[in-house]
A and B are shown apart, each in its own frame.
Chain A
Amino acid sequence: EAGVVQSPRYKIIEKKQPVAFWCNPISGHNTLYWYLQNLGQGPELLIRYENEEAVDDSQLPKDRFSAERLKGVDSTLKIQPAELGDSAVYLCASSPRRGSYNEQFFGPGTRLTVL
């Protein structure tokens, strides 16, 4: 079974430029997460989808960040315009169901560097 796929793995951009990250979750997983991980810290949730609905986006900086999950499968996270402080690893994760025990399967992440 294929794991969570993310692309690109690395991205370097100039500040004020737009950038987009793509995630393909494990087949059949209804729940999809985007996390931000700063260097030396644990991941922080940005947004959670149940199928195509964003059910938890309270931590998403909506002035510059947007996300979509059309058809409830793949997802794209966008930043426009990027700032220096956005340099971090963006992790995508998926899980098969809701519930109190909710193991999340993570992708390898996209490392963003904003110059």
Chain B
Amino acid sequence: AQKITQTQPGMFVQEKEAVTLDCTYDTSDPSYGLFWYKQPSSGEMIFLIYQGSYDQQNATEGRYSLNFQKARKSANLVISASQLGDSAMYFCAMGRGSRLTFGEGTQLTVNP
């Protein structure tokens, strides 16, 4: 069975600073994908970044980067230069094939 753990129910960061959101996972499958989604108060889940289990380099997408440590089974999201619009729920998810398993999320608040 696959399991995703996000241990930070809430995080606060000052505008323009960097923040790391933690995610650990558990799976016995050698091939899997790791995803991060953002969910603002409007409710829509917005895809941010993807990391494949065989990818050698950490994924980056603009201000988002994924710190992938396979041996530790962690896939932390790093947001650089936080903006007020980054305030939202952030979900880590693990996928194998077409099935995604989500964590419980971290509520990020960016303070001006």
Contact = CB atoms under 8 A, between A and B. Distances in A.
Interface of A: 3, 31, 40-45, 48, 50, 55-56, 89, 91, 93, 95, 98-109, 111
Given A89-B43, A108-B44, A102 B98 contact: yes
A104 B47 contact: yes
B25 interface: no
B62 interface: no
Contact of A107 (B4, B44, B93): B44
A42 B33 contact: no
Nearest to A42: B102
Majority-rule SS of B interface residues: strand
A3 B45 CA distance: 12
Given A40-B104, A43-B102, A98 B44 contact: no
B33 A43 contact: no
Given A3-B44, A45-B100, A91-B45, 12 more contacts: A42-B4, A42-B105, A100-B31, A100-B32, A100-B95, A102-B95, A104-B100, A105-B47, A106-B44, A106-B45, A108-B44, A109-B44
A101 B44 contact: no
B93 A100 contact: no
Contacts of A98: 97-98
B107 to A, nearest CB: 9
